[in-house]
Amino acid sequence: MLKRLLSILPLLLAWAHIDPTLAQDALVVSSCGTLGQPYVAGSTRLPTVDTTGHLCGSGGGGGGSPGGAPNSVQFNSGGSAFGGITNLTTNGTNPLLTAIAAPGSPAAGTGVFYEDSTNLIFSFKNAAGTVSSTVVPSTAPANQFATAISVAGVVSYAQPAFTNISGQTTLAQLPSIANNTALGNVSGGTSTPVALTTTQLTTLVNVFTSTLSGAAPASGGGTTNFLRADGTWTAPGGGGGTPGGANTNVQFNNSGAFGGDSGFTYTTPGQVTIALGSIAANAKALNITGTWNNAAVTFDAPLFMNITNTASAAGSLLADFQVGGTSQFNIDKGGNSTFLGQLQFRPSGGDQWNNAALTSSEDIVWFNNSTSKGAFAVHADSGSISGAFVAASGNFGWQNGGNAWGGTIDLVLNRDAAGILAQKNSTTAQTFRVYNTFTDASNYERAVMDWTTSANVLTMGSQAAGTGSLRQVYINFTTQGGFSDTGTLFFVVRPISNIVSIRSNSAYAWSDSSSDAVGTANFPTSLVQLSVGTIGFLGLSGAGGTFSGKSLTPSTLASGTTNNYDPGGKSYFYRLTANAANSVLTGLAPNTAAQQDGEVHVIINLAAAGTLTLNHQDAGSTAANRFLNSTGLNIVLSPNQAADVIYDATVSRWLVFKRN
Tell me, what's the pLDDT at 369?
53
Q: Is 630 in the same domain as 600?
A: yes
Closest Cα to residue 376, out of 362, 389, 361, 359? 389
Q: What is the pTM of this model?
A: 0.40
Q: What angle do CA 647, 500, 447 make, to 5 degrees?
A: 130
Q: Is 602 in the same domain as 523?
A: no
- Residue 140, Ramachandran bin (φ over 0: left; ψ between -120 and 50: alpha; else beta): beta
Closest Cα to residue 5, out of 90, 117, 69, 132? 90
Closest Cα to residue 590, out of 556, 614, 625? 625
Among 28-42, 520-534, 557-571, which stretch is predicted with the lowest mean pLDDT? 28-42
pLDDT score of 62 more than 60: no
CA-based R_g, the chain, Å? 68
51 contacts: CB under 8 Å, gap ≥ 6: 31, 75, 76
Say whether 163 sits in a helix, a strand or coil.
Answer: helix
Q: Is 441 in the same domain as 526?
A: no
Is residue 169 one of the residues assigned to a domain? no
Q: Is 93 in the same domain as 72?
A: yes
Tell me, what's the pLDDT at 225?
83
pLDDT score of 83 more than 80: yes
* 224 and 236 Cβ atoms separated by less than 8 Å: yes
Q: What angle do CA 190, 193, 197 make, to 5 degrees?
A: 120
The DSSP output letter for 556 is P
pLDDT score of 289 more than 80: yes
137 contacts: CB under 8 Å, gap ≥ 6: none
Tell me, what's the pLDDT at 487?
67
Is residue 41 one of the residues assigned to a domain? yes
* 195 and 183 Cβ atoms separated by less than 8 Å: yes
Closest Cα to residue 327, out of 337, 340, 318? 340
Q: Per-residue pLDDT tens for 162-205?
A: 666 677 777 777 778 878 778 888 888 898 888 888 788 888 88
Distances (CA, A) of 182 to 116, 187, 208, 560: 57, 14, 21, 143
Please tell me the distance from the alpha carbon of residue 132 to that of residue 125, in angstroms, as a whole number: 6
Q: Mean of the pLDDT values across residues 617-627?
A: 95
Tell me, what's the pLDDT at 446?
96
Q: Is 529 in the same domain as 596?
A: no
Tell me, what's the pLDDT at 440?
95
Q: Mean of the pLDDT values across residues 619-644?
A: 95
Distances (CA, A) of 125 to 75, 102, 110, 327, 403: 21, 9, 9, 107, 90
**What is the secondary structure of 88-139 as a DSSP string?**
EEE-SSSEEE-EEPPPPP--TT-EEEEEETTT--EEEEETT--EEEPPPPP-
Q: What angle do CA 88, 94, 100 make, to 5 degrees?
A: 30
Q: Mean of the pLDDT values across residues 221-233?
A: 83
Is residue 413 one of the residues assigned to a domain? no
Domain C-terminal end among 497, 525, 542: 542
Burial-class residue 548 by CB neighbours within 10 Å (0-12, 13-18, 19+). exposed
* 62 and 32 Cβ atoms separated by less than 8 Å: no
Tell me, what's the pLDDT at 343?
65
CA torsion through residues 192, 196, 200, 205, sign = positive
Query: What's the half-sphere exposure (Cβ side, CA atoms, 13 Å) at 110?
Result: 10
Distances (CA, A) of 541 to 393, 494, 526, 530, 545: 51, 31, 10, 16, 11
Please tell me the distance from the alpha carbon of residue 416 to that of residue 206, in angstroms, as a whole number: 81
Q: Per-residue pLDDT tens for 112-134?
A: 878 878 777 778 788 887 777 76
Q: Per-residue pLDDT tens for 327-354?
A: 888 999 988 888 777 666 555 544 333 3
Q: Which amino acid is at 8?
A: I
Is residue 321 one of the residues assigned to a domain? no
User: Going edge to edge, which strands form the sheet with 488-494?
Assistant: 481-485, 488-494, 499-502
Q: Mean of the pLDDT values across residues 373-387?
A: 62
Burial of 125-160, coded b for 16+ CB within 10 Å and e otherwise, reads beeeeebebeeeeeeeeeeeeeeeeeeebeeeeeee
Q: Per-residue pLDDT tens for 481-509?
A: 777 777 677 677 777 677 888 777 777 77
Burial of 33-57, coded b for 16+ CB within 10 Å and e otherwise, reads eeebbebeeeeeebbbbbeebbbbb
Domain C-terminal end among 62, 97, 132: 97
Closest Cα to residue 451, out of 469, 427, 434? 427
Q: Per-residue pLDDT tens for 645-656?
A: 999 999 999 999
Domain C-terminal end among 39, 69, 97: 97
Q: Which amino acid is at 543?
A: A
User: 28 is in which domain, residue-wise?
Assistant: 2-97
Q: In this structure, how many other beta carbons lie within 10 angstroms of the beta carbon of residue 391? A: 19
Q: Is 528 in the same domain as 572?
A: no
Closest Cα to residue 3, out of 118, 108, 91, 120? 91
Q: Is 536 in the same domain as 578?
A: no
Q: Is the pLDDT higher at 27 or at 655?
A: 655
Three-state DSSP string of 53-78 = CCEECCCCCCCCCCCCCCCEEEEECC
Q: Is 527 in the same domain as 555?
A: no
Is residue 624 one of the residues assigned to a domain? yes
* 627 and 653 Cβ atoms separated by less than 8 Å: yes
Q: Which amino acid is at 638?
A: S
Q: How many domains does the chain have?
A: 4
Is residue 569 one of the residues assigned to a domain? yes
Is residue 653 one of the residues assigned to a domain? yes
Q: Is 575 in the same domain as 628?
A: yes
Is residue 627 one of the residues assigned to a domain? yes
Please tell me the distance from the alpha carbon of residue 130 to that of residue 125, in angstroms, as a whole number: 5
Q: Is 13 in the same domain as 91?
A: yes
Q: Mean of the pLDDT values across residues 512-531?
A: 74
Q: Is 561 in the same domain as 596?
A: yes
* 24 and 9 Cβ atoms separated by less than 8 Å: no
Please tell me the distance from the alpha carbon of residue 610 to that of residue 637, in angstroms, as a whole number: 9
Tell me, what's the pLDDT at 521?
64
Greatest extent of the chain over all pairs of C-alpha atoms, in Å: 191
Q: Is the pLDDT higher at 409 or at 577?
A: 577
Please tell me the distance from the alpha carbon of residue 281 to that of residue 60, in angstroms, as a whole number: 145
Burial-class residue 594 by CB neighbours within 10 Å (0-12, 13-18, 19+). exposed
Count of residues making up the chain: 660
Average pLDDT value for the chain: 78
Q: Mean of the pLDDT values across residues 37-58?
A: 45
Closest Cα to residue 633, out of 620, 657, 616? 616
- Strand 409-417 to 395-399 pairing: antiparallel
Say whether 233 sits in a helix, a strand or coil.
Answer: strand
The DSSP output letter for 468 is -
In degrees and rounded to multiples of 5, residue 112 shows phi and psi of -120, 125
Q: Is the pLDDT higher at 31 or at 180?
A: 180
**What is the secondary structure of 280-332 as a DSSP string?**
SS---S---------TT--PPPSS------SS--TT-EEEEEEETTEEEEEEE
Q: Is 77 in the same domain as 26?
A: yes
